[in-house]
Structure 1
Amino acid sequence: MQSIWAQQIIKGTVTDVNKVPLPGASVLIKGTTTGSQTDFDGVFSLQASTNDVLVVSYLGYITQEVTVTSSVNYTVILQEDLNQLDEVVVVGYGTQKKAVLTSSVSSVKGADLAKEPILNATQALQGKAAGVQVIASDAPGQASTIIIRGLGTVGGSSDPLYVVDGILTGNINNLNTSDIQTMSVLKDAAAKAIYGNRGANGVIIITTKRGKEGKMQISFDAYTGVRDVLSRVKMANASEYVIYSNEGRLRDLRRDDDPNNDNDTGSFFPTNQLYDTNWLDEITRLGRVSNYNLSLSGGSEKIKAFFSAGLNDEEGILKGNDFRRFTLRSNIDYEISEKLSLSQTASIQLANVTPKIYGAFTTAYKQAPIVPVYDEQGRFGSAAAFNNVGNPVKDLFFQNEKQRFFKVQGSLKLDYKIIEPLTFTSQFSIESEYGRFYSFTDILGSFLAGNPANTEADYFRENPDRERTAASVTHTNHYNWFIDNYVTFNKTFQEAHTIKATFGASAQESRGESLTGYRVNVPLDANLNYILNAGDVDDRQAASGSLGVKDRLYSYFARASYDYKNKYLVSGSYRRDGSSKFQEGNRIGDFFAVSVGWVVTEENFMKNSAFDILKLRASYGEVGNQNVPLQQIVQTTGSGGFYAFGPNQALQQGTTIASTISPDLTWETTEEYNIGAEFTLFDYKLSGEVDFYRKETPDAIVPVALPDVFGLGGFDDHIGSVLNKGVEASLNWKDKIGEKFNYSFGVNFAYNENELAEVKSIFFNESIGGGINNGQYTKRVREGYPLGSFYLYDVIGIDDKGEFVYDDVNNNGLIDEDDRKFMGSFLPKYTLGFNFGIEYNNFDFTVDTYTSLGAKVYNGKKAQRFSNENIEQSVFNNRWTSGRPSNTTPIAFNEVPLSSDYYLESADFFRINNITLGYTLPDSISSFFSSVRIYATAKNPIIFKEFSGFTPELPGSPLGNAGIELDAYPTLKSFHIGINTSF
């Protein structure tokens, strides 16, 4: 009850335990609607009377009550609410309290991202969200690959759907990490089904920061750092290379009856070599990265705004490989009336890329150290006399490419409160990306530099009109627009029954186009390279282009949830999609999910249990993947031989249909079961989750190969079933010792088992893949094995001549295709993340680690030896010789090796992802700023691995380069210093 004493203006500051102001905190006089909110300095003021009680609350913190005395100044310190189940998480087309959520969702807060340098937002998920496999890439401007709860498709895309402020997109490369407020990963079908045929691979929902009422706050964050290769491969030096190559030559001479040696005319290398080139050092440099972000936020009761600008500048470790990105963001909220509000979101990205071919890493690995970068005449060194490996420095020099990207995303959202529990929302969004690709090739110059013996006469001998240079310019444009209209009902009846429902419709259209122009004999002057009319028209490829077909998607969706006293929970969602991607009759799909939950600790018999909160939940749902391989409806005919036909038995040439397609080709559907539990213990200090899931795609698209008698080529059809099943668990502990020491640690674990569980046709084509550019393949898809499984020869020993001995599986006396075996997959079975953090006085310290177990990696570089390529130093040290026989490493050789488990290694690793030490300046030092924090960070400083190559993390498709180190970018270690300020 409000006091009758005279009122006065009181002021105060609301902070957390670290004295960090809490903007937007609510300060209400208890029992009334009178109150205020803190500004961006955490300051509030209002009229109150002595003995009034101020109720101070802030999302994520424990509400505190303060009694007004005669004082007019108050400092309120709020304790963080360790009950994580009370937090609000973002889900499709809305939000839900985690306490009543019946689906599996992992969240990462933007505030946690700001504490360390993160170049791409997806990297922040590695080791912090159970069941989310992040295959990081350290190449400048390149995003990580994300696989959520295993691989569910053979030939389709496994990328998740990204939703940024309601805008559906395929990637978030344009997103400034400092703009992120929250990231939510929707993992089970109960969470994903509302996204229908785009939800099978998981959904990552990102909300960006928005303005809050109060005076304008300015924040500036910056960091700079250096980057280098984390694990270098030790190659043989010049003397070791000479010894090994000469021994290989001797071995070849002893086997001169081998037809593979018919072209071996090389001689022995002299031991007194002039050069000892470290090719990796020659193509790399110390990488540098700088990042700057400036944001302004504030507003009035009616208008709130957030603006930001960011600049990311990277010099890659590969010489000449650079990336620069500039971003702008504007988020504005208008409260037009008590019922009507309007929100606008707009972001712009400008990116410049200077690409360099990553095959340079493989070329540097293979090239002989006795070859100089430049010879005595200043020409590029060449090994044309004894191997077919290029000069990687020359290759980088002659690669002249530029890429420019301009991306715009924007949305306009209207919310209208029809009546108190019912709100109508309409959002129109658009995404448009423009690309410009420039390529200039000095064809003659590259030919002359490839071999000192080459001359212009050699180049023009067969064709006097052969072009000297070539240039191309490609313009691309891709756009998406979306419109979503839905109503949300949210009401609690009799303080016990809460119903929240969303019903709506959505439409989307997307289209892409490209145009390329070519010219030859363009001047070498760099200022004229891309002035295409300065050269000659290439009659073979004067111009090309494509105007993509419009893809349209029309959808209806609904979700409803009910909870009784936050105890018994039921939820369901439904989406009906109609996609123009598919044939008539196969365009409409229905997707749904149902889930239930039980908060056991709300029962009387659990009131005195050890659990603060214990919630059990279960769900089932079906979602789809529309990004699958589609075949055009094209009738291909072929002409055959002649046949006597008709009454006169005249010879007629036969014609046959040479190919076909499946008439029922459409999206893949994934069925998923999930059982989970969430809990807190020890006064909310310990929280955790555990989930068991079974995710099956019973209509996976795989290739079919009909017998030759049908006269038809292969095609794709829904005859496969891909199964993923696994367990996810996470534990987090947060506590404090005294008033100054706060600490926390968390661990998350995931186990996933993947296999092509069933094939429903005897004509299934067991596709092969994983080519390594030497005529060999390494992978096969077969029923009963994980996708992307390696299919190799088994080396069972080394014979008395130092040669590989392969397992003759069928005992036919020959080593042939039937002797290959399945030997594991690039997909890990176990992943483990550990996070630790402490805060003491003004210091903060965090450590994040990541572990991956159970995967295999194929050393494609090592398997590239044809003739006189370099070898790893370990191969030289352990090779078989007559005086030192080896059981593990063969004799020196010069021939294409079979794809065997000799080149297959464990991809297990433990890595420290992040070590950060920060210090927040005391208020007495930073009086001009409301907060100043400086920090130093080591990213990926230490790795423990068995793989002998650069990195065991190798993205790609199951039948492509996934798990194969060939032309791959190494993992990097980085060291940064940075600053976070606000004023």
Structure 2
Amino acid sequence: MKFKLITVFVMLLSYIGMAQETKTISGTVSDSTAVPLPGAQLKVQGKEIFTVTDFDGNYTLEGVEEGDIFKVTFLGFQPKEITVGSSNEYNITLQEEAAALSEVVVIGYGKAESRDLAGTISNLKGEEINDSPTTSALQAAQGKLAGVQVINDGSPGSVGNVRIRGSISVLGGADPLYVVDGVITQDISGIANSDIESFDVLKDASSTAIYGARGANGVVLITTKSGKGKMNISLSTKTGINTLVNGVDMANAQEYARYTNEALVRGGNDPAFSEAEIGNLKTTNWMDEITRDGFFQNYNLSVSGSKDDIDYFVSTNYMDEEGILKNNKYERLTVRLNNTYHLDENLRIGHNLSLARERGFAPSTSAYAIDGVPYGAFTSAYKQAPFLSVRNAQGNYQTTNLNNVGNPIAEIENNQSVNEQVRILGNVWGELDVVDWLSFRSSLGVNVLRQKIRSYGASYNVENESGVQINNQNQQLTVRDVDEERFNWDNFLTFDKKFGKHDINLTLGLTAERFSSEFLQGSRRGVPPSDNLLYLNVGEQEGQKVENSGDKSTRLAYFSRLLYNFDKRYVFNATIRREGSSKFAESQRIKYYPSFGVAWNIDNENFFSNQNFISNLKVRGSYGLVGNDRINSGLFLQLIDFSAYPFPSGVAIGGSSIQQYDENLKWETTKELDLGVEFGLIQGKLRGEVTYYKKTTEDILFPLALPQTSGDDNFVTNAGSIENKGIEFGLNWSDESESGDFSYNIGFNITKNENELTKINPVVANATPFIDSGDLQNGKIVTRTVEGNQLGTFWLYKTDGIFESQEEIGNSAQPAASVGDFRYVDTNGDGTISQADRQYMGSYQPDFYYGINLGFTYKQVDFSTSLFGNVGNKVFNGLRAQRFSGENIDADLFAERNVVPTEASAGPRAFNEVPLPSDYYLEDGDFLRVNNITLGYNFSDKIVEYINLSRLRIYAVAQNPLTFTKYSGFNPELPRGVLDSGLELNAYPTTGKFLLGLNIDF
């Protein structure tokens, strides 16, 4: 009996041993053209054995047994199941899905194929951004995306303004919402271009409604890189110069002297210069004195890969950029750590963390103007008399009695603003595959900013022609500290399953957000100009100022989204978000944002299968609501000022209102209709898209100007509507030779947008239903935002030539004019020229804007260029119009001036008075700019392998080398606020970059 039991036991052990015999298999995963697929997933069914392919498509599965089945999946390809047999090597080819040409794009809280979406999403791949010599990805996207207008001033560290389908708010800002790896931020200057994997722009309400009160201005989703495959070490460098590329020809010393004499004599004064003096004058080019060729350098090092169930990406980037303005500089150091930890087959945790330290230096013409544009030295250089030298024979700064313009070199050398900030941006997350078709993700995002701005104006003297020393400043120090913290916690379930011909993707989620900020600013005079003494406890206590403010708000939202398609033909998308914000009164705190969209992939219909000219064709439409709550908290609250009031019987404490308020203040709401057609022709070589949209923003937050007797300047309330409607068109052609040695691409996009403030409802008695802006800093303004016109419309006097005789003046509405003065149009016919005669004359918003992108590769050589431009926008030359007395003029204005009263001329006679803001200074802002030219060379595989590298590329870049425009100023690209863009005053001139770059991969 024992013998039988032992025999059975031994046989059982033998069987178990045989059953547990395992082995290791390996191979490659590629597509139908033998191109490796990195990042493809392989999972053994019923076992916790999985892996992903490396950069070359290679994989290894350990611990498998014969008879096991493993599944291979890769987004955009049909999954494939393989049964393990006796072989140890399995090379797998995946076939593309029917929608193989469909791009995978990032959407709110997930990813999807573009053919499964009914909304409008534009995207750029990382390689289109990574090598761009710009501070931010926004500048790299300039001119490449229909419906996305990027306006950049060219100064070091600037990010640029972005307008997606026009401006939809007066107070709520115009910039889109930025979401970096799921974390909300308002500033992406700390994101290195080389770290970006994809750049997706959600433009219509169907796409942005999942972000609710944040989506009205559009949403920019930035996904940074992650590790996959074998270890890769990448090093890139870019070095070169910044230089002024668009100058303005100014009047020389002799021309200035003659113009000044003419203006003085015309005003009844003696001339300032004799003919003998004029002949001996030497010219100082003040713009040459304050500018330079600035050095630019950018270095990036990254390590990425997958090993032992960890995907890792680590990078560091350093940028150092000198501006064309002397003492203007920007530095940035960023460190990024993106890791994913595969705890088992169904559970992953990870983090996407970045730390950015930025430091900017800008000469400031006033230590008081810490918030202002710190580039007034450009305006001073434009206006200062050219007969002056920077310093006189005694070495003192020079100025002149003929004007009140500062010495721009003295301004630069004695005023400095330093902006230092540290930002931590990132998240930690966990993701669980509950079953194959259901996953849960939780993410905690953090966005923390610590900023310090220190602005100092040293005391200095300038000396006029009479030898009089003029003291310009009193050693003013202004210090500002800003602390901001934003936390968002996202939790959502994703159901993704196919039932026969039905594909269903359902997302349900909850997001909570908390934001707090504090601002503290102080200033003192009499602080000595020593780096170790620039503190507020040093200096005069008299006249010191301290300001403190802040903001706190919270949000809570529930959201759901359905992506459904039937048989890859009929698509239905729906989203709803319920959002609450503490920025509004309790009665107005909750808002719902629904959207829906439908699409028809016509090319998947049976009746379409008998032709091969059209490779894909989709029609789509969507409608939805999104919101905007970008205002300070507490505008719905009554603020009271408590003060002591003396009475005969004693002192009494009383309160008075210091803020008119609307207790029913509510969200701005944008309703958007979006209709489009997407198509591909000739095997997908030609791809295009046409979209019509109409956005109506209701309940806009409008600051109604109040009478002086109200005790407050304005009253913020929901008082009107704004409409934006337009058409976007994009077309791209790409092809390659049969040998694969030559490929090329051509892209074109154009956008037409019409903007109008359609209604203003002055709900407060005697409130003024318009906003004036565009301050020339000489007592004049140039824009007015009013019902029936665009935001920031130029509001100017219309000129009708110049007066050529006294008789002409006597018969006009300007009896005090002189021969040679502008003749203004008496619009209302009341016999006088007043503000009632001003006319609306267009705005900075263009009729349409466009981009052109070209590129080719031939063997190891690659070339690309991009261009963009505006048509139909207006710009106001504030440099010309901001006159007081004795300033310099540009050479064209000198040539256009009227000299003899009977001479026909485009311009007025020489004058010294402050001019009325008129259409004479308003110009067409049309321009075409060559944004980028890149020429590169990739060394052959043989050379690269010989020196133990995997990639080696050198390239040269020219950014903004050419601008074609008729505008007479420095730069027709003039970003400012929503209400005053297009005014050139204290603006940064067009800057070109010329660089050499190197890419090395190990």
- Normalized against structure 2, the TM-score is what? 0.87
Which residue does the alignment assign to 1:935?
955
Give the equivalent residue in structure 1 for 2:618: 615
**Shift in alpha-carbon separation, 1:886–1:515, aligned structure 2, 3 A:** same
Structure 1's 450 and 723: CA in aligned 2 closer, same or farther, altered over 3 A?
farther
Match in the other structure for 1:717: 717
- Decide whether aligned partners of structure 1 residues 617 and 635 sit closer, same or farther in structure 2, where only a CA change above 3 A counts: same
Q: Which secondary structure state, in structure 2, belongs to the residue aligned with residue 128 of structure 1?
A: coil
Sort the Cα spacing of 1:127 and 1:602 in 2 relative to 1 into closer, same or farther, 3 A: same
Match of 1:789 in 2: 793
From 106, 109, 134, the counterpart of 1:118: 134
Which residue of 838, 843, 853 corresponds with 1:820? 838
Report the CA distance shift for 1:536/1:95 in structure 2 as closer, same or farther (over 3 A): same
Residue of structure 1 in register with 2:518 after alignment: 513
Residue 813 of structure 1: how far off its partner (Å): 2.1
Separation in 2, partners of 1:772, 1:780? 13
Aligned to 1:642: none
Q: In structure 1, what is the equivalent of residue 498 of structure 2? A: 492
Paired with 2:100 and 2:589, the residues of 1 have a C-alpha distance of 42
Query: In 1, Cα distance between the equivalents of 2:257 and 2:632?
Result: 49
State the Cα deviation string for residues 334-381 of structure 1 (Å, max 9, x = none).
111222110111100111111223111111000010111010000001
Separation of aligned partners in 1, 2:342 and 2:91: 31
Counterpart code for 2:479: V
Q: For residues 179-198 of structure 1, what are the structure 2 equivalents within 5 Å? A: 179-198=195-214
Structure 2 CA distance for partners of 1:79 and 1:107, relative to 1, 3 Å = farther
- Give CA deviations for 1:510-559 in whole Å, capped at 9, x if unaligned: 11123345555444333x232555x345143265434x232111111111
Q: Tell me if 1:337 matches 2:338.
A: no
Q: 1:271 to 1:599 in 2, by over 3 A?
A: same
The reply on whether 1:741 has 2:742 as its aligned counterpart is yes
Report deviation, 1:656.
8.5
- Tell me the residue number matched to 1:980: 999
Residues 28-177 of structure 1 aligned to structure 2 (within 5 Å): 38-40=53-55, 85-177=101-193
Q: Partner of 1:51 in structure 2?
A: none
SS for the counterpart of 2:892 is helix
- CA deviations on 1:605-652 (whole Å, 9 max, x unpaired) are 22224422111111111101111467363456899xxxxxxxxxxxxx
In structure 2, how many angstroms separate the alpha carbons of the residues matched to 1:83 and 1:965?
Answer: 49
Unaligned runs of 5+ in 1: 1-6, 49-53, 254-263, 460-466, 640-653
Q: Counterpart of 1:864 in structure 2: which amino acid?
A: Q
- Partner secondary structure for residue 665 of structure 1: coil
Q: CA contact under 8 A between 1:473 and 1:530: conserved in structure 2?
A: no
Displacement after TM superposition at 1:843 (Å): 0.8
Distance 1:396 1:78 in 2: 63
Which SS does the other structure have where 2:998 is aligned?
strand
CA separation in 1, counterparts of 2:330 and 2:655?
54
| TM-score, structure 1 normalization | 0.88
Please name the residue that 2:567 is paired with. Answer: 565
Q: Which residue of 2 aligns with 1:922?
A: 940
Corresponding position: 1:271 with 2:278: yes
Match of residue 250, structure 1, among 265, 274, 295: 265
Aligned to 2:39: 24
1:14–1:43 CA contact under 8 A, matched in 2: no
Aligned partner letter, 1:143:
V
Pairing partner for 2:637 from 615, 633, 636: 633
2:252 pairs with one of 215, 231, 237: 237
Shift in Å, 1:206: 0.6
Question: Which amino acid letter does the alignment assign opposite residue 272 of structure 2?
Answer: S
User: What secondary structure, in the 3-state scheme, does the structure 2 residue paired with 1:343 have?
Assistant: strand
Where in structure 2 are the equivalents of 1:844-863 lying within 5 Å?
844-863=862-881
Work out whether 1:373 is the aligned partner of 2:404. Answer: no
User: How far apart, in 1, do the equivalents of 2:771 and 2:326 lie?
Assistant: 38
Counterparts of 1:692 and 1:959 in 2: how far apart (Å)? 26
Q: Could you tell me which residue of structure 1 aligns to residue 754 of structure 2?
A: 753
Q: Is residue 227 from structure 1 mapped to residue 245 from structure 2 by the alignment?
A: no
User: How do 1:769-848 and structure 2 match up within 5 A?
Assistant: 769-800=773-804, 801-848=819-866
**Residue number in structure 1 paired with 2:327:** 320
Q: 1:967 aligns with which of 979, 983, 986?
A: 986
CA 451–624 in structure 1, closer or farther in 2 if over 3 Å, else same:
farther
Q: Whole-Å Cα distance in 2 between the matches of residues 190 and 593 of structure 1?
A: 5
Residues 759-797 of structure 1: per-residue CA shift (max 9 Å, x gap) = 234755222111111111111122111111101111111
| Conserved? CA contact 2:264–2:270, under 8 Å | no
Query: C-alpha separation between the residues in 1 aligned to 2:751 and 2:153?
Result: 21
Are residues 449 and 665 of structure 1, via their aligned partners in 2, closer, same or farther at CA, if it must alter by over 3 Å? farther
**Distance across 2 between alignment mates of 1:498 and 1:386:** 77
1:361 is paired with a residue whose SS is helix
What SS does the aligned partner of 2:942 have? coil
CA contact (8 A) 1:141 1:323 kept: yes
Q: Which shifted more, 364-373 or 735-744?
A: 735-744
- Whether contact under 8 Å (1:879, 1:886) holds in the other structure is no
Partner of residue 414, structure 1: 430
**Is 1:310 the counterpart of 2:317 in the alignment?**
yes
Could you say if the C-alpha distance between residues 475 and 734 of structure 1 is closer, same or farther in structure 2, counting changes exceeding 3 Å?
Answer: same
1:895 and 2:946 correspond: no
**CA spacing shift, 1:230–1:61, aligned 2, 3 Å:** farther
**C-alpha distance after superposition, 1:564-622 (max 9, x if no partner):** 11111111111111111122212111111111111112222222244221111111111
CA contact (8 A) 2:396 2:462 kept: no
Is the contact made by 1:382 and 1:451 (CA closer than 8 Å) also made in structure 2? yes
Structure 2 distance, partners of 1:429, 1:35, is: 29
Alignment of 1:446 with 2:446, yes or no, is no
Does structure 1 residue 702 correspond to structure 2 residue 702? Answer: yes
Q: Which amino acid aligns with 1:936?
A: A
Structure 2 CA distance for aligned equivalents of residues 191 and 241 of structure 1: 57
**Is the aligned partner of 1:479 residue 2:485?**
yes
Comparing 77-86 with 776-785, which one deviates more in the overlay? Answer: 77-86
- The secondary structure found in structure 2 opposite 1:197 is helix
Give the match for residue 426 of structure 1: 442
Contact 1:436 1:476 in 2 (8 A): yes
In 2, Cα distance between equivalents of 1:760 and 1:10? 71
The Cα of 1:416 is off from its aligned counterpart by 1.3
2:888 partner SS: coil
AA partner of residue 355 (structure 2): I
The question of whether the paired residues in 1 share the 8 Å contact of 2:721 and 2:758 is answered with: yes
Q: Is the partner of 2:779 in helix, strand or coil?
A: coil
Paired position in structure 2 for 1:435: 451
Aligned-pair distance for 1:148?
A: 0.4
Does residue 665 of structure 1 match 2:674? no
How many residues are matched? Answer: 932
- Give a deviation string over 1:702-738, Cα, whole Å, max 9, x none: 2335678989864122121100000011111111123
Q: Is the 8 A contact 1:628 1:667 kept in 2?
A: no
Does the residue aligned with 1:282 lie in a helix, a strand or coil? helix
Output the CA distance in 2 between the equivalents of 1:449 and 1:55. 83
Q: Is the 8 A contact 2:376 2:986 kept in 1?
A: yes
Distance (whole Å) between structure 1 residues aligned to residue 35 and residue 540 of structure 2: 65
Distance 1:945 1:82 in 2: 47
Kept after mapping to 2: 8 A contact 1:878/1:886 = no
- Equivalent-residue separation in structure 1 for 2:404 and 2:208 (angstroms): 51
Using the TM superposition, give the Cα deviation of residue 34 of structure 1 relative to its aligned residue in structure 2, in angstroms: 11
Confirm or deny: 8 A CA contact 2:135 2:158 kept in the other structure. Answer: no
1:491-521 CA-partner distances (Å, limit 9, x unpaired): 1112x11111111111111111233455554
Q: Given that residues 974 and 987 in structure 2 are in contact (C-alpha distance below 8 angstroms), is that contact kept between their aligned partners in structure 1?
A: yes
